[in-house]
Structure 1
Amino acid sequence: MPTRRTSRPPSSTCRGMCPTSSTPIARRCRRSRPTGCSGCSGSGACSGGRATARRLPSHPCCRPRRRPPARSPSEESVQEQTMADHTDVAILGAGPNGLSLAAHLAASGVSFRIFGRPMESWLGMPRGMLLKSEGFASSLYDPRGALPLGKYCRERGLGYADIGLPVPNATFCEYGLAFQRRLVPTLDQRLVSEVRRSGAGFRLTLEDGATLQANRVVVATGITNFAWLPPNLSGLPADKVTHSAAHADPGRLRGVDVVVVGGGSSAIDLSALMHEAGAKVRLVTRRAELPLHTRMRLPRPLSDRLREPLSAIGPSWRSCFFTRCAPILHRLPAARRLKWVKTQFGPSAGWFMADRIKPVPVLYRQSPVGAELAGDKVRLAVAGADGQRSTIDCEHLIVATGYRPDVARMTFLDRELRQAIATLEDAPIVSLRFESSVPGLYFVGPPTANSFGPLMRFAVGARFAAPRLARHLAATVRQPAGQPATDEALLADQVGARA
C-alpha cells in the first residue's frame, strides 16, 4: 500500500549543538523544531530530513514540546518579589554623583537600584544662594550628554552663560530634579536606614522596614551628616546654637540678634542672606580679611588664559592638574594629597558676594574659645590676636565651620562595616575604582577627596567618577561580591599610608 503523503510545512535549518552530543546540527528538517540531528540519525529517527515511522521520544531532539505548567498568581507574586528584592548595584544618595552614576549604569545595562531624596543636600542650602562654579561646570552627567544645564536653561528661558553668570542654587536644584525625572525615573525616594554584610553581598534595610539584597553598594550621600561643630561650641540647646546647614530659610530668624562664626563661603553667604532677610547679623572670624574670589575679566585676555588657564574648578595651572590628573594624584603620597586638599580652594566666597556682605558688621581676628547660656541669650567667648579675651552676647549663635567627612558618622552603615573601612583622617580610602577596603563597597563624592584630590569636593567631580565607576561595575558586577579589588595593591598602599 503506497505511503500516504501530506504537504510539508516550511522547512527550517537546525543549527547549534545536539543536546546529547557535541556534533553540530546543520541539516534541514521538515519540522520547525530540531528533529533532524546527528544525535538522532544514528538511531534512525531522522533520515535525510524526512520523518520516519520510527521515533525515539526519549531523545531530547525528538521529544514533543510541552507547554510549561501555568503558575498560580501567588507563585508569580513570589517570583516578582524575589526579583525585586535583589539587585546587582545599590546606589545610596540621589545628588549629582548618585544620579550621574545611575544614568551611566542605565546606559550600560547594569541592574541597579537607587535610593534617596533627589538633590536633598542642595535643597537644604540657604534660599537665594548662588553657586561658585561656572555654568559649564555645573551639570549632571549621562553618557550621551542628553541634558546639560545649558540646555535645560535654554528650554525654560532661564538666564545662562558658560562663564561669568552665577547659577542660582534654586535653578541648579530644579535642573537636578528634571535630570532625575528624565534620565533616572526609577529612583526610589525611600532612605536606607541600615547596610550590613550578608553572605557574598550586602543586606539593605529601608526606612519602612523593607529589605533588599545587593551585590555591590555605592555610597553617594554627599555632605549629608558631615556638618562639623567645634567641641568648644557644642553641647548647647539646638534652639540657641545651630550649624549653618540648618538654615535653608534665611528669613526664619528675621528680627533676631544673630552671631555667625566663621570666615568661609558658608559664613559669608549666610550672613549676607540673613541680613537681607531682616535679621540683625554680626559675623565673627579669626581672619584678618574675608576671602573673596576676584571676578574674571571677560572676554579673557590671552595673558590671563596663558597665566591661569580655565578649568572646571577654577582658573590656574594647578586647578587643571587637579581636574585632569586625578588618577595620577591618587598615586601620590598621602601627605601630599592631604596638603593639597586642605590648602587648595579654601572656603572663599564668590566674587558676587563682595558688595552684599558690606552692610554686615564683621569682627576680625577673633577666635571663638567657648560658648555658654546667659539667661535667655548665648554668650560667646572670643580671643583676639593679642590673646585678650572678651564676650559677645546674642540671641542665636550660628556656627558656619563647614563639613568634615567621617565614616563614623555614616550611621546607616552598621558598626561592623564602619570598623572594617580603612580611613585617612576619618574619610574612607578608596582604590582607583572607588572601592573601599571592604570589597563591593564603593564611595563617590566629597568623602573621596583625600584619595583623588580637591576635584571630588565639587559637583563636577561626578563627570570623572560616574563613567569610571560605571565601566568598572559593568565589567565586574556579575562576579560574586567579596572578591578582591583589581587594584587592591594600590589600595593597600593607601591604607599603609593613612594617618
Structure 2
Amino acid sequence: MTESGTRLTDFVNGSRPRGGDSPDLEVAVIGAGPHGLSAAVHLRRTGVAVQVFGAPMSFWRGMPQGMRLRSNMSATNMIEPVGPFSLASYMAEIGEEFGHPVSLRRFIDYGSWVQRNAVPDVDTRRVSCVSRDGRGFALELEDGEIFTARRVVVACGIAAFENLPGGFDHLPPDLVSHTGHHDDLSRFAGQRVAVVGGGQSAFESAVLMNERGAEVELIARGSEFVWLRSWSPIHFMGRLGKIVYAPTDVGPLWYSRLVATPAVFTRLPRETQDRIAQRAIRPACSYFVKVRVDGVSLTKATQVTRAEAAGSGLELTLSDGTTRTVDHLMFGTGYKVNVGRYPFLSQGVLDDLKVEDGYPVLRKGFESSVPSLHFLGAPAARSFGPIMRFVSGSWYGGSRLAQAVARQKQ
C-alpha cells in the first residue's frame, strides 16, 4: 500500500519509494454512480479485484429536488434488469412499492442501497489525477495519496460536460447558470427567470421554479415542442409489447431493440448510427411535466442572442428582435461529451487517447487507444450507441467490460 501524502510528481519522477513490481490495484473504477457500480459488480462476479473511487450517486444528488425520472420502471434498474440489485428487490427489502415516474429522492435512495449492498467498500475520495506508469496507471487522490492500478475504468458521468452556449462567459454565475448547477430551485422564488432549451431538463426546471413562486419563460429554438405521451402502443400489445420494445426504454418502438443491442447497432453505417442516435435522444418533455407547464410562458423558434447585466439582473435580446428583463438566465441545454474536460486525465494520457468529436474511440471491452484504460457511460455512446447515455446502458456496459477483462486475465 502506498504512503498517504505522497505526491504524484514524486511518483512520476521516481523519488517515491516503490513497493515491488505489482500495482496496488488490479482495477480502479472512477465513479460510483450507476455505470461505476455496475462495472464493479460484474468485474467481481468474474473474480477480478476492484476498487471504486468517488462519492456514491454524486451527480444525482446535485440535481433539482422534486425532479422525477423520465425512464420507465424497467429502465431504472441498476446493474441488471432482474436480480438481487433490481428495483423489485429494493422495494421488497424496504417493504414499500412505488411506480412510474420514480422521484429523484427515491432513485438516490435506491442507488445508495445498491452501493451499500453491492460495493460497500467504495473509497469516497475524489481522484485528482490519472497518469501512465510502468506498471499501468498512477492515481492521485484529493488528499495526495497515490495508488497504482493495472487497469482504470472511467465511469464518472457527464457533470464535466455541461453545454453552455458561447457569448455569455462575461456574465457572473449568479446571473447565468446551467440547470445542472442547482439542487434547490426554491432560491428563485419571486424572481423572473428565462430558461433556454426544449428538453426534459429545461421544462422540468422551469416547472419546478414556477411551482416555487418564480415567473418563468422557456425559450427554445425549435419550431415545435416534442411532448411524450403517457401511453404507448406497447401498452395494448400484451406480451408482444415486451418482445418488440426493449426494457432499456431508449428510442422509439421501431428502433428500441436495435439500440438495446450494441453488437448489432454498431455494425450499421456511421451515418445511420448517428441518425438513429439523434432520434433516440431528441429533446422532449415527459407527460408528467407537460401537465404542470401551464404557469410557464413558452416561446418557440427563438434564441437569446445577447445578454447584458442591467442593475441587479439581465437585459436579454432575442432573435425575433424583442427584449426581456430578467433576474436570471438558465440554460437547460444538456451536456456535450468531451473527455478532454475530465480534469483528472493527465496531459500524457490525453495525448495518447484517440478521440472523435470529443468521444474516446473504444474497441471491444470499452477499451480506449490507451491500453487498459476504459470508458463507460455517455463517453462510450459514439462507439456503442445511445444506450450508453442512460442508466439501463449500465447493464450492457458493466457485463461486457467484465467479460473482456476476465478474458485478458486468462
Task: Please confirm whether the aligned pair reaches a TM-score higher than 0.5, indicating the same fold.
Answer: yes
The 3 A distance-change label for structure 1 pair 303 and 172 is closer
| Deviation string, structure 1 residues 284-326 (Cα, Å, up to 9, x no partner) | 1122332221111598223995699322225502111101x21
Match of 2:391 among 453, 459, 465: 459
The equivalent of 1:112 in structure 2 is 50
1:415 to 347, 356, 361: 347
Structure-1-length-normalised TM-score: 0.74
Aligned residue number for residue 84 of structure 2: 146
1:302 corresponds to: 237
Deviation, 1:175, is 0.5
The answer for the alignment partner of 2:315 in structure 1 is: 379
Distance 1:359 1:308 in 2: 40
In 2, Cα distance between the equivalents of 1:298 and 1:337?
24
Structure 2 SS opposite 1:371: strand
Q: Report the Cα distance in structure 2 between the residues aligned to 1:359 and 1:304, rounded to whole angstroms.
A: 40
Q: Which residue of 1 aligns with 2:111?
A: 176
Q: Name the structure 1 match of 2:281.
A: 345
AA matched with 2:145: A
Q: Structure 1 residues 222 and 361 mapped into 2: Cα distance closer, same or farther (>3 Å)?
A: same
CA distance in 1: counterparts of 2:21 and 2:118, whole angstroms:
23
Asked if the contact 1:89–1:217 (Cα under 8 Å) also holds between the matched residues in 2, the reply is yes
Do the aligned residues in 2 keep the contact of 1:103 with 1:142 (CA within 8 Å)?
no
| Corresponding residue number in structure 2 for 1:327 | 263
* 3-state DSSP of counterpart to 1:225: helix
User: Deviation at 1:368?
Assistant: 1.9
Contact 1:135 1:160 in 2 (8 A): no
Which residue, out of 169, 178, 195, partners 1:260? Answer: 195
Preserved contact between residue 135 and residue 148 of structure 2 (Cα < 8 Å): no
CA shift for structure 1 position 411: 1.6
**What does residue 356 of structure 2 align with?**
424
Tell me how far apart the structure 2 counterparts of residues 191 and 411 of structure 1 sit (CA, whole Å): 11
Aligned residues of 1:85 and 1:211 also touching (Cα < 8 A): no
Shift of 1:93: 0.3
**Secondary structure of residue in 1 paired with 2:174:** coil
Change over 3 Å in CA distance of 1:89–1:306 after alignment to 2: closer
Corresponding residue of 2:5: none
1:471-490 correspondence to structure 2 within 5 Å? 471-477=403-409
Structure 1 residue 245 and structure 2 residue 180: aligned? yes
CA drift of 1:443 comes to 0.2
Q: Deviations over 1:90-146 (max 9, x none)?
A: 000000000011111222221111100101111111111111111111111169821
Contact 1:340 1:453 in 2 (8 A): no
The count of corresponding residues between Structure 1 and Structure 2 is: 392
1:393 is matched with: 325
Q: CA deviation at 1:453?
A: 1.1
Q: Counterpart amino acid of 1:412?
A: F
- The structure number with the bigger radius of gyration is 1
Show the counterpart of 1:199: 134
The answer to which structure, 1 or 2, has the higher relative contact order (CA under 8 A, 6+ apart) is 2
Contact 1:133 1:313 (8 Å CA) reproduced: yes
- Superposition deviation, residue 265 in structure 1: 0.7
Gaps of 5+ in 1: 1-78, 479-499
Query: Aligned partners of 1:142, 1:463: CA distance in 2, in Å?
Result: 5
The Cα shift of 1:282 comes to 1.4
Change (3 A) 1:171 1:397: same
Once residues 281 and 105 of structure 1 are traced to their aligned partners in structure 2, the CA distance between those partners, rounded to angstroms, is 46
RMSD value over aligned CA atoms? 2.5
Q: Secondary structure at the match of 2:294?
A: coil
**Distance in 2 between the 1:235 and 1:295 partners?**
41
- CA distance in 1: counterparts of 2:239 and 2:187, whole angstroms: 43
Contact 1:90 1:216 in 2 (8 A): yes
Quick one: which amino acid aligns to residue 220 of structure 1? A
CA separation of 1:306 and 1:139: change in aligned 2, threshold 3 A: closer
Paired residues of 2:23 and 2:136 also in contact (CA < 8 A): no
Q: CA deviation at 1:189?
A: 0.2
Q: Of residues 372, 378, 385 in structure 2, which corresponds to 1:446?
A: 378
Matches within 5 A, 1:56-71: none
The amino acid of 1:213's aligned partner reads T
Q: 1:159 aligns with which of 72, 94, 97?
A: 97
Q: CA deviation at 1:334?
A: 2.9
**In structure 1, what residue type is equivalent to 2:48?**
V
Q: Is residue 264–residue 349 contact of structure 1 (8 Å, CA) maintained in 2?
A: yes
Point out where structure 2 has 5 or more consecutive residues left out of the alignment.
1-16
- What residue in structure 1 maps to residue 3 of structure 2? none
1:336 equivalenced with 2:268 (yes/no): no
The normalised TM-score by structure 2 is 0.90
Amino acid at match of 1:382: L
Q: Residues 101 and 467 of structure 1 are in contact (CA less than 8 Å); yes or no, is this contact kept in structure 2?
A: yes
